[in-house]
Amino acid sequence: MKLLLTGTTGQLGTAVAEIAPQRGVRIVPLVRRARPGQIPFGRAFPSLASAQVTGDVREPLWGLAEADLDELAGSVDAVVNLAGDTNWAGSGRDLYAVNVLGARGGHEVARELQRRSGRRIVHVYASSIFAAGGTLGRIAENPLGPDRHRTAYEHSKWLAERELERMHTPGDPDVLISRVAALLGDSRTGATRRRNSLYLLAERWDELPGRVLPAMRGAKVDVLPRDTAAGTLLDAVAGLLRSGPRREPVITHLSAGERAPTIRGLLEVARALSPQSFGKWLRIVPASAEQVLWLSGNAERYLPLSPAWRNSIIGLRYIGLDRVMERGRLAELVDGPLPDPSTELLARLLFDLPEPQRPTAPADSGLSRFLA
């Protein structure tokens, strides 16, 4: 399997690039032109430097040159768009340019490669489970309707999904819309490319006003280690390629789903693992969905918040709502178990908790006679 991949330097893209060789997957990274002060892509990803092509997801056909399109058409099996503006407090204009126009351009690229090659090529778009906005309960892997609670980021992801549904016609490349959960670091090393608002909330543990955390009683924290998400995504792409043509885009939830821990359970496990890692303990205050959504979306109107704090406050809705992302369609594509990260692993990654140390007996020569 060979993928034209955008977003290679991001949280999920980096993980995909890292595990691709183990899966026998070849990567052609689409890379923006280097900007002053930026680390060259070839230095950050030397193993992919020779395969890269230059482009920009905000441009038509992603700004790919004719020669690159011809070469890609003969070898690429899937166009995978992981590029995205994930600033939850970002401007609507920037979010639209990257998330919506990027999705449209990705479908145009897949369509053009399929036309030039005559081969079946699929298009994969990384959306977000948070495109659900303020919807509660069980969230099906279906198109979502309008929702007044969506933030600018969530709205841009929803618009991108709608755009792909609108563009898809019979004979077009098959489309996989993968709604991705919040991502933590690597499950083995803890390494992360960026610290999203869940990390920011953990870092501001001692600064939360009143030591309270508003959440619905059954609120879940649907997060995945980035390497787990990357492996499942590659499995889903392979499953789509194995299956027959689809009449409409396939929507899946790349998440922990029904296995996601509750916020209360996650915090209690974290405290049990490392009591000394926390100062004063938080109190989870039962709140309604309206209260959680209003607070996360309006706090900056009354408080002078930095961009980091705005992201953290918006992140309250991602740990404070009671809903479950269904994964039936993901299970149909993935040939193997679905992601099921342990609560202990998630707690360690989120709060940077140390690994447990195996107890060792103190040296005591007086007891050596009992060891014979």
Q: Give a yes or no: residue 217 inside a domain.
A: no
pLDDT of residue 295: 83
Span 126-150, average pLDDT? 94
pLDDT above 90 as % of the chain:
58
Structural domains of the chain, count: 1
pLDDT of residue 117: 93
The pairing of beta strand 175-180 with beta strand 182-184: unpaired
Q: Give a yes or no: residue 314 inside a domain.
A: no
Q: Give a yes or no: residue 334 inside a domain.
A: yes
More confidently predicted of 363 and 322: 322
Q: Give a yes or no: residue 248 inside a domain.
A: yes
Domain of residue 36: give its range: 2-193+222-256+324-340
30-47 tens-digit pLDDT: 998 877 667 778 777 888
CA distances from 106 to 80, 85, 100 (A): 8, 15, 10
**Range with top average pLDDT, 85-99, 152-166, 285-299, 348-362:** 152-166
pLDDT of residue 274: 87
Residue 245's contacts (CB-CB under 8 Å, 6 or more residues apart) are 120, 174
What is the distance between the alpha carbons of residues 202 and 187, in angstroms, rounded to a whole number?
18
222-244 tens-digit pLDDT: 999 999 999 999 999 999 999 88
Q: Give a yes or no: residue 371 inside a domain.
A: no
Q: Give a yes or no: residue 312 inside a domain.
A: no
pLDDT of residue 365: 58
Span 127-144, average pLDDT? 94
pLDDT category at 357 given cuts 50, 70, 90 is: low
pLDDT of residue 369: 53
pLDDT of residue 353: 85
What is the distance between the alpha carbons of residues 58 and 44, in angstroms, rounded to a whole number?
23
Is the pLDDT at 361 greater than 90? The verdict is no
pLDDT category at 137 given cuts 50, 70, 90 is: very high
pLDDT of residue 356: 67
Q: Give a yes or no: residue 25 inside a domain.
A: yes
Is the pLDDT at 20 greater than 80? The verdict is yes
**Domain containing 105 — which CATH number?**
3.40.50.720
Identity of residue 132: A
pLDDT of residue 328: 95
168-221 tens-digit pLDDT: 998 899 999 999 999 999 999 888 877 777 776 777 777 777 778 889 999 999
Q: Give a yes or no: residue 215 inside a domain.
A: no
In the block, tokens 């994930």 appear at 86
Strand partners, 202: none
Residue 203: φ, ψ to 5°: -70, -25
pLDDT of residue 88: 64
pLDDT of residue 198: 76
